[in-house]
Amino acid sequence: MDQSDIPPSASSPSDNYWDHDPESERGSSSPGSVRGVVKELLETAIFILLVFFIVRGIVQNFKIEGSSMEPSLHSGQYILVNKIVYFHFDINAPLRLLPGQEDLSPRPVYPFQQPQRGDVIVFEYPRDVSKDYIKRVIGLPGDTVEFRDGSVYINGFLLDESYLTSNEITYCNAGSACDSGKIVVPKGKIFVMGDNRLNSSDSREWDTLPMDRIIGQAWVLYYPVQDWGVIPHHSYAADQ
């Protein structure tokens, strides 16, 4: 037989198998791969939200509005507030669930520290808790606060307030909460004032601040960038 009479050989089954591409028939995105991408995106979103709420529970940003803390802090500056430093819980809270113990007085415990004299704090304004204020702690629970000759006395000792501008006078307006003479700070409260004594709505006007209204301690000034730095908290010679 002449070679030209030989029919061409048919392709083998194995050749057809290797030319077959199942992925091209199903498409590039299978349901399984789509579910995997969606799951990964959800896990990432949940992680980001978790981190956000944890950080939000520890640190909070705050914009200073007004001049009540000048010259220490100025209007328009942004700070971070440390909320964990004054974390506390009421050890008597579970006991008040028991019959006959409903009127048990609170007994707060501060694992880290209580507010200290000289601390700059951010808190809910007692007369309108929707507003946040920033002031300096002057009197602690049990302290006697007195104003004499334009100066502040704590427990009979003159308070050395080097953070005030020179010749700054601290006075008490007639009819204000501090006009009664010596003020004894009640338990569970503190006495706060702004560093700009001539332009500050503080405990002289609306009385002492309940400690459960405190949001946290002013920690870091982060904007404007040129003002960046840790916010100093004053210590007094009388407390040493």
Distance from C-alpha of 16 to C-alpha of 20, rounded to nearest angstrom? 6
Residue 135 falls in the annotated catalytic set: yes
Catalytic-labelled residue, pool 75, 83, 130, 135:
135
Please answer whether residues 77 and 64 qualify as being in contact, where contact means their C-beta atoms are separated by less than 8 angstroms. Answer: yes
Distance from C-alpha of 80 to C-alpha of 60, rounded to nearest angstrom? 6
Residue 28 falls in the annotated catalytic set: no
Catalytic-labelled residue, pool 12, 30, 63, 68:
68
pLDDT tens sequence for the chain (240 residues): 444 443 444 444 444 444 555 544 444 556 678 777 777 777 677 766 655 555 556 889 999 999 999 999 999 999 999 999 999 888 988 888 888 888 888 888 899 999 999 999 999 999 999 999 999 999 999 999 999 989 999 999 999 999 999 888 998 887 888 887 889 999 999 999 999 999 999 999 999 999 999 999 999 999 999 999 999 999 998 787
Distance from C-alpha of 147 to C-alpha of 178, rounded to nearest angstrom? 9
Cβ neighbours, 10 Å, residue 216: 21
Top-level class of domain 54-84+114-239: mainly beta
